[in-house]
């Protein structure tokens, strides 16, 4: 419901105020009494009125003086004033009234219908003006909210683009942590690849020449995936490469790596890692809670399993990580190292890809190059998952012992 307009009645005679109320009551607006110019000014300090009906002859401050003060305030500068006088008005009176801002000049006794119609016009004008003000304020508020919405959307787009660029950069940096090509070797054909579930991941693999001539092969998995595990993986890689410059015992290296990471791994998280030292005549490895590795004979049978030899990294700072020697790779045999994202990939029915399916896939392609086997495995896992999104990082390393009549493929 629309708010009633205020009509200010200013007269020092109570009977005149009653007469005005009797005439104007039909308009059903808010009639406000003021028995002096000072009382009118006090009311106008905090209120906007549609029109002022003001007696000219009042003690202390007459209507003309009151009107001048009303017109002197910014808030009431344009408030319409109708003067009323009980005396026959002269041209001088009328001129003075209009110069003080009057919109009309009535002589008492006034014709009720004329007074009512004049006041009704100004009330309607006031109401329309107030509606325009409200609509303008609503429009400004709508425009302000729309401006804020567009700013928020632009800010969100900028933040998303900045995040996308940062993640893209992080992915490019992380990919540089992985070996671009296998180390030159006349004994082994090797290939590895890591496929993160997010832009960055917590899996790690590497081939590193050890100081006394052996080939260091490492695969690791920081719990979780995304930026946090990727940062911890980068730290793990830096420590490991530094240790391999001065150490040759894989068990000692993994133990020192655990000590270095112990204070940096967040509570409830850990990292698994398998580090193997390969030579044509021996294989020695240490595994900190990592997935088993497999050595397949040239006929595809599981010749050896490389189970975990200790707890994951970052659980206890003083853990023991013994190294284990297993039979070396014979020509035509294959070493397979993976992270759990491979075997724990879910199919549409919720079942895991599993170890059996993994080994069967490798057996059926064992005559191919290490690179071809790696590519095939990832393709087979993704085909098994169907349209489902990848939920964990996947990493695989394949190392084949070269037959005497073969030469390892040249890296592209």
All domains of the chain, ordered by start, with CATH?
6-134 (3.40.50.2300), 178-401 (3.60.40.10)
- Tokens read off for 11: 């007269």
Q: What is the pLDDT of residues 187-238, one digit of tens each?
A: 899 999 988 887 667 788 998 888 777 889 999 998 866 677 778 888 888 8
Confidence check: pLDDT of 100 > 80:
no
Q: What is the pLDDT of residues 324-336, one digit of tens each?
A: 999 999 999 999 9
pLDDT of residue 337: 97
Q: Is the pLDDT of residue 283 over 90?
A: yes
Between residues 226 and 315, which one has the greater pLDDT? 315
The pLDDT tens digits of the residues spanning 45-85 come to 999 999 999 998 888 899 889 999 998 898 898 899 998 88
Instruction: Give the range among 42-46, 166-170, 350-354 with minimum mean pLDDT.
Output: 166-170
Percent of the chain residues topping a pLDDT of 90: 42
Q: What confidence tier does 95 reach under pLDDT thresholds 50, 70, 90?
A: confident
Q: What was the pLDDT predicted at 235?
A: 86
Mean pLDDT, range 371-392, rounded to an integer: 90
> Is the confidence at residue 305, as pLDDT, over 90?
yes
pTM over 0.75: no
pLDDT(407) > 60: no
Q: Which of 133, 138, 130 is nearest to 49 (CA)?
A: 130
Whole-number average pLDDT of the chain: 86
**In the prediction, which pLDDT does 2 show?**
66
Where does the pLDDT of residue 168 fall: very low under 50, low under 70, confident under 90, or very high at 90 and above? low
314-346 per-residue burial string, b: 16 or more CB within 10 A, e: under 16: bbeeebebebeebebbeebbbbbbbbbbbbebb
Which range has highest mean pLDDT (93-102, 278-287, 314-323, 399-408)? Answer: 278-287
| Cα–Cα distance for residue pair 373/368, rounded to 1 Å | 6
Q: Which two tokens stand for residue 390?
A: 């990848």
d(CA 308, CA 412): 34
**What is the per-residue pLDDT for 412?**
43
**Of residues 254 and 409, more confidently modeled:** 254
Residue 1 scores a pLDDT above 70: no
Instruction: Return the higher-pLDDT residue of 318 and 176.
Output: 318
Please compute the mean of the pLDDT values over residues 92-110 and round it to a whole number.
77
User: Cα Rg for the chain, rounded, in angstroms?
Assistant: 46
Per cent of the chain over pLDDT 70 is 90
- Closest CA relative to residue 67, chosen from 8, 18, 128: 8
| pLDDT at residue 169 in the model | 64
Span 110-130, pLDDT tens digits: 888 888 998 999 888 888 888
Contacts of 268 (CB under 8 A, 6+ apart): none
| Torsions phi, psi for 143 (to 5 deg) | -65, -40
């Amino acid at each position: 419901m629309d708010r009633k307009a205020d009509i200010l009645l200013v007269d020092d005679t109570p009977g005149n105020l009653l007469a005005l109320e009797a005439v104007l009551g039909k308009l059903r607006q808010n009639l406000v009494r003021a028995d002096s110019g000072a009382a009118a000014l006090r009311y106008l300090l905090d209120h906007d009125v549609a029109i002022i009906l003001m007696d000219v002859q009042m003690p202390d401050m007459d209507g003309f003086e009151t009107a001048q003060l009303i017109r002197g305030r910014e808030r009431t500068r344009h408030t319409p004033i109708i003067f009323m006088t009980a005396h026959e008005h002269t041209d001088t009176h009328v001129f003075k009234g209009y110069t003080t801002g009057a919109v009309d000049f009535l002589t008492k006794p006034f014709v009720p219908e004329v007074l009512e119609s004049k006041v009704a016009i100004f009330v309607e004008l006031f109401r329309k003006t107030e509606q325009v003000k409200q609509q303008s304020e609503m429009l400004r508020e709508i425009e302000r909210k729309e401006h804020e919405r567009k700013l928020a959307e632009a800010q969100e787009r900028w933040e998303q683009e900045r995040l996308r660029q940062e993640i893209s950069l992080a992915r490019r940096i992380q990919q540089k942590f992985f070996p671009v090509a296998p180390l030159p070797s006349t004994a082994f054909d090797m290939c590895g690849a890591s496929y993160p579930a997010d832009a960055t991941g917590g899996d790690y693999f590497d081939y590193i020449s050890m100081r006394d001539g052996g080939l260091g092969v490492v695969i690791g998995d920081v719990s979780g995936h995304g930026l946090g595990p990727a940062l911890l993986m980068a730290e793990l890689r830096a420590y490991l490469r530094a240790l391999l410059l001065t150490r040759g015992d894989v068990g000692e290296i993994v133990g020192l790596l655990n000590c270095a990471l112990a204070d940096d791994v967040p509570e409830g998280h850990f990292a698994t890692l398998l580090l193997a030292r390969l030579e044509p005549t021996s294989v020695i490895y240490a595994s900190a809670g990592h997935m088993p590795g497999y050595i397949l004979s040239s006929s595809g049978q599981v010749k050896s399993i490389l189970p975990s030899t200790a707890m994951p990294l970052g659980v206890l700072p003083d853990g023991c990580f013994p190294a284990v020697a297993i039979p070396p790779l014979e020509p035509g045999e294959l070493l397979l190292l993976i992270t759990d994202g491979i075997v724990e990939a879910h199919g549409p029915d919720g079942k895991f890809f599993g170890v059996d399916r993994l080994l069967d896939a490798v057996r059926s392609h064992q005559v191919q190059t290490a690179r071809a086997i790696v590519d095939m495995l990832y393709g087979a896992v993704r085909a098994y998952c169907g349209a489902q999104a990848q939920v964990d990082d996947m990493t695989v390393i394949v190392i084949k012992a070269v037959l005497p009549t073969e030469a390892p493929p040249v890296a592209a």
